[in-house]
Amino acid sequence: MNVWIGIDLGTQSVRAMAVGETGEVLGAAGRPLTSHRDGPRHEQDPEEWWRALAAATREALREVPPSRVAGVAVAATSGTILLTGTDGRALTPALMYDDRRAGAERVNEAGAAVWERLGYRRMQPNWALPKLLWLFRDAPAGARAAHQSDFVNRRLVGHEVATDLSNALKTGVDLIEERWPAEVLNLLPPGSLPDVVRPGARLGVVCEDASAQTGIPAGTPVIAGTTDGCAAQLGAGALRVGSWNSVLGTTLVLKGVTKELIHDPLGVVYSHRAPDGSWLPGGASSTGAGVLTRELPGRDLDALSAHAAARFGSPAPGSRGSAGWPAAAPVTYPLVSRGERFPFDAPHAETFTLGEPADDVERYLAILLGAAFVERLCFDYLDLLGAPVDGEIILTGGATKSAFWTRLRADVLGRPVTLRENAEPALGMAVLAGGDPARMIRTRAVVEPSGEDLREPYLRFVGELERRGWLPGRAANHARERTSR
């Protein structure tokens, strides 16, 4: 039986997982990472990535026979970038995915036609290309750009490696032509960018030195990975056209599969390229479960969920609805931080609540309902753009720990939702490294909607977003039309 190693380089930790052919986890380990934050600055030490990765893989492989290891792939945070020397050593700290010290004006002027053709229309200051220009201001001759995954993949194979199209998206790669466009090459020193390949391409094999440090057998194929969001989508098994992975944790992230590239006039949806050449559109909202700890500090959220289920619990599937559900239930627009990114662009958006919650149980419910409404609005907007949204919806993230919230989301969406046994990004990388997703990705449950009719409060919520000038009228009208079908 073969074993594949998936590695997830996150913000707070490195996670390594050894996965067998039928999805069994034969070993897993993690190591923490340290961030250095100061206002718009967010940096990490690339050498710490390697030390943490090596320690995590050694532990994860402790009980795995070396002869069974068939491949390894690494996921990394999207938009994290640094400069290295020709030897692969870091010349700068890594500027993390949300570092905002750079400006995007120059790259948006130079690459406007390319970004328009790729569907996302413009780059944001925290994307990798603006940060690269900022780093190259004082760079020595011969400095090269490296994404987070490039840095550790080079250590694994012992020589220069190509980057994957997924991590290169925010550096300006042309995902249609699968190459660096002239507009990007003209902005940077010659020879400073790596070659590009699709996720799933073979980069080389683990070298002897890396094997000694990581415990991964020398000669193990190293496979080009993806960003962490795409890795989570692979781990969730959202692999067919029309299927979607909705990740609700601190914030909400949606990722799906389409045959054709989606073009978004608002620029809030952008698409990665899948290993098979299809497209992976998605977006990240600034709303999510992170609001719960801010609005209900110190409260036992599990207890609140139990009280909410007892008071407003959804009925059994097929019944006519819950008599206890308030006709004008309070709804909170649960922004974790100021400004919205998806399903609309509103830099000045702020949290608000429609109605007056009577107590903490209703405050809790208002947040859950608002997050579910934003999730529904995301699907309505994707449908407006022409993305197929009729396939399987797979829910992952911390919010799935609440059975009440999961059923509520199914009610708001008006369709079944799927829960997986394991949907970690590291599992997605084990699949990409060579595993069979049909055998490795296991379903835990399919949750059917109860029949609760929440269309009226949803449309009230949509109307308020439109009234405040955040949600464009075209998107609001499409949500109304789709809700009335």
pLDDT tens-place string over residues 166-206: 999 999 999 999 999 999 999 999 999 999 999 999 999 99
CATH architecture of 3-229: 2-Layer Sandwich (3.30)
Return the percentage of the chain with pLDDT > 90, whole number: 86
By the 8 A CB rule, do 428 and 4 touch?
A: no
pLDDT digits (tens, 9 = 90+) for 352-380: 999 999 999 999 999 999 999 999 999 99
What 8-state DSSP symbol labels residue 448?
A: P
CA distances from 223 to 64, 199, 250, 362, 381 (A): 20, 8, 30, 48, 34
pLDDT digits (tens, 9 = 90+) for 381-440: 999 999 999 999 999 988 999 999 999 999 999 999 999 998 889 999 999 999 899 999
Give the mean pLDDT of 52-69: 97
Euclidean distance between CA atoms 270 and 279, whole angstroms = 10
Tell me what pLDDT residue 323 has.
Answer: 44
Give the mean pLDDT of 22-50: 95
Number of Cβ within a 10 Å radius of residue 414: 16
Tell me what pLDDT residue 1 has.
Answer: 87
Give the mean pLDDT of 69-80: 96
CA distances from 241 to 100, 143, 274, 280 (A): 34, 40, 11, 9
Measuring CA to CA, which residue among 187, 193, 133, 138 is closest to residue 160? 193
Q: Decide: helix, strand or coil at residue 456.
A: helix
Tell me what pLDDT residue 76 has.
Answer: 95
**Residues contacting 359, CB < 8 A, separation 6+:** none
Tell me what pLDDT residue 324 has.
Answer: 52
Residue in the structure block whose two tokens are 């001759």: 141
Mean pLDDT score across all residues of the chain: 93
Tell me what pLDDT residue 326 has.
Answer: 66
Lowest mean pLDDT among 104-113, 198-207, 450-459: 450-459
Query: 3-229 and 238-422+454-484 share one CATH topology?
Result: yes
CB burial string 97-117: b at 16+ within 10 A, e below: bbbbbbebeebbebbeebbeb
By the 8 A CB rule, do 238 and 274 touch?
A: no
Please state the domain extents for the chain.
3-229, 238-422+454-484
Tell me what pLDDT residue 427 has.
Answer: 95
Measuring CA to CA, which residue among 361, 464, 446, 460 is closest to residue 410? 446
What 8-state DSSP symbol labels residue 464?
A: H
Q: Decide: helix, strand or coil at residue 9.
A: strand
Tokens of 389: 């949204």
Tell me what pLDDT residue 318 has.
Answer: 39
Q: What is the pTM of this model?
A: 0.87
| Class for the domain spanning 238-422+454-484 | alpha beta
Tell me what pLDDT residue 209 has.
Answer: 98
| H-helix segments, 91-227 | 105-110, 112-117, 128-136, 148-157, 165-168, 182-185, 208-214
Q: Dump strand ranges (E) for 307-464.
A: 331-333, 352-354, 393-396, 417-420, 443-447
* pLDDT band (50, 70, 90) for residue 315: very low
